[in-house]
Structure 1
Amino acid sequence: MRSLRTRVHLTASRMHKWLSLIIGLQVLIWMTSGLVMSALPIERVHGEHLVDRKAQPPITGVSAVRPLGELLSRIPGPVEEITLRMGQGRLLAEAKSGGRTFLFDPSTGARMLQISKDQAARIARESWKGGGNPEIKVTEVENLSPEFRGPLPAWQVTINDTTHVYVSRDTGRILAVRSSTWRLYDFFWSLHIMDWKNHQNFNTWWLLCFAIGGLISGLAGTVLLFMRWPVRRRRKVLRGTPVSASDPHNTAEEFTRP
């Protein structure tokens, strides 16, 4: 009958071998994707070198703003926040209510219509930092996708066939910038979290099972390392402790070392 030590050794060896075969490729993908994502500057992933989303012209014309109560009376439902900002070359009042954002002309109190195609193209062009005279194409975003997850309604402004600038139809704000660098990052992100369809769920059963398998394989490897550590075995031989002939490391070379 095999000793407890031998049974532990064989069990750990089998677990380590088979789990390594099963999850080895995914572990390689984890390391590769992690390296790529770490190497890509997050500023370039967000497209900050292409589009300036945060630039705001100085606010002017505040003296002509209508009374706040008049603006509030034109908004359906309770108002969470009102912000004055410059946009489209003039002063705008931006009000948030019920999960939506509404634009008003603060000088008249009139609610403004949604941002048009031409206005979206102008916003993207004025924010463009890539230089030159970019080719621009504007389309309506009808459905959410891994590239853009809202909020809707929005315009997709395509610049030079590679960069997508998403502009809110409610507020005219730039919501997202998607470039070739972002798509490369997102591809490796989907491989890293094992969500190949939506690229956002890192609680998938695939990821959980492979992570548990990797942990068990690592623990089994640690047990094998402890049991096969050369210094420990050499001390056994020097003390004259008998070693099982079934031990895979029981070689003539080891037992004849000085």
Structure 2
Amino acid sequence: MNLPFWVRRTHKWIGLVIGVQALLWMLSGVYMTVISLDVIHGDHLAHVFDEPLERSGGRLDIDQLAKLRPGFESFKLKKLLGKEVYELRADGKTSLVDARSGDLLSPLPREQIVARAKDIYQGEAEIREVTWITQAPQEVAKRPVPMWAVRFDDRANSTLYFSPDTGDLLARRHDLWRWFDFLWMFHIMDYDARTDVNNSLLRVAAGVGLLFALSGAWLVFYSFRRRAQA
């Protein structure tokens, strides 16, 4: 059996099969290391600050709140667009009520979401579009729907996603993030959800890549040994 011949042939065909994927691994890896993760996360696009609460004055106490909105399991007092609100959680759902009157505020209307987006957005661009979303796009597939999407007319095509129930910022998305997500799909070879780093296709590709490296190492060792014997 001519072992070097079969190792060379195996190494060549593995290289043809795995070469494109190896190139994608390298390209995506370079992008992920060159672009700061803080930039990818979009921390520069929107800053969320907890507004200070008033020390006292006119808000409902817990007993009054329980009479007006019975059945809540937990609550949180916070400020939203300059107004004190209670965030109530009951039966797995969250809603906002006015901390002074007890009036239900959720779901927040378009006007308040626009005001919220302008308040936290750090750029100079104007809002291009505001969309009510009931089916989450791929870039926010894990976020709960419905949600509001506020798109800005900037170079990065920035989009801020908000919860209509709490007014919370759910996600920041922009073109650098979208490129990262696209390359991440090729990097982990999960072409569906783009989240499974232990999928079978990646394991097979990694195993084949290891075989390619080992066969190449063997050929290098074999060639040096032949030269030494010559």
Gap change, CA 1:216 and 1:65, over 3 Å in 2: same
Distance 1:62 1:216 in 2: 69
Distance 2:189 2:56 in 1: 51
Shift of 1:31: 0.6
Gap change, CA 1:211 and 1:99, over 3 Å in 2: farther
Gap change, CA 1:22 and 1:234, over 3 Å in 2: closer
Distance 2:144 2:124 in 1: 29
1:37 aligns with 2:32: yes
Higher mean C-alpha deviation, range 190-199 or range 140-149: 190-199
Could you tell me which runs of 5 or more consecutive residues in structure 1 were left unpaired when the two chains were aligned.
Answer: 238-254
8 Å Cα contact 2:135/2:146 also seen in 1:
no
- Give the SS at the match of 2:139: coil
1:157 aligns with 2:150: yes
Aligned length: 226
1:205 pairs with one of 191, 200, 204: 200
Q: Specify the alignment match of 1:147 in structure 2.
A: 139
Shift of 1:10: 3.6
8 Å Cα contact 1:121/1:136 also seen in 2:
no
Indicate the percent of aligned positions where both proteins have the same amino acid. Answer: 31
Matches within 5 A, 1:68-83: 68-72=62-66, 74=69, 76=71, 79=73, 81-83=74-76
State the superposition RMSD in angstroms: 2.3
Shift of 1:16: 1.7
TM-score, normalized by length of structure 2?
Answer: 0.86
| Structure possessing the higher radius of gyration over alpha carbons | 1
Q: Specify the alignment match of 1:117 in structure 2.
A: 110
Shift of 1:185: 1.3
1:130 pairs with one of 123, 140, 160: 123
Q: Specify the alignment match of 1:47 in structure 2.
A: 42
User: Structure 2 counterpart of 1:142, which letter?
Assistant: T
TM-score, normalized by length of structure 1?
Answer: 0.78
Could you tell me which runs of 5 or more consecutive residues in structure 2 were left unpaired when the two chains were aligned.
Answer: none
Gap change, CA 1:24 and 1:113, over 3 Å in 2: same
